[in-house]
Amino acid sequence: MNVVIVGVGAFIIACLLVIAYMCLCLAVSTKDREKIEKELFNKRFGKGDSE
């Protein structure tokens, strides 16, 4: 019976770690995307002003 409890606990912890990792990846990719969008936006404005 203890083995089942330990197994379920380990499974829940593993799921929580995976979810936390996915959230971290999404947060990082969102920051990178915003940075890239700002750079492209600035480049477009820069080209628009020079033309």
User: Backbone phi, then psi, for 48, in 5-degree steps?
Assistant: -65, -40
Give the chain's domain count.
Answer: 1
Instruction: Tell me, yes or no, if the pTM score tops 0.85.
Output: no
Q: Tell me the residue range of the domain where 44 lies.
A: 23-51
Q: Is residue 10 part of a domain?
A: no
Report which of 16, 14, 36 is spatially closest to residue 24, judged by C-alpha positions: 16
Q: Is residue 1 part of a domain?
A: no
Q: Is residue 9 part of a domain?
A: no
Q: Is residue 2 part of a domain?
A: no
The model's pLDDT over 5-48, given as tens digits with 9 standing for 90+, comes to 999 999 999 999 998 888 877 777 777 777 878 888 888 787 65
Q: Is residue 5 part of a domain?
A: no
Q: Determine the pLDDT at residue 50.
A: 45
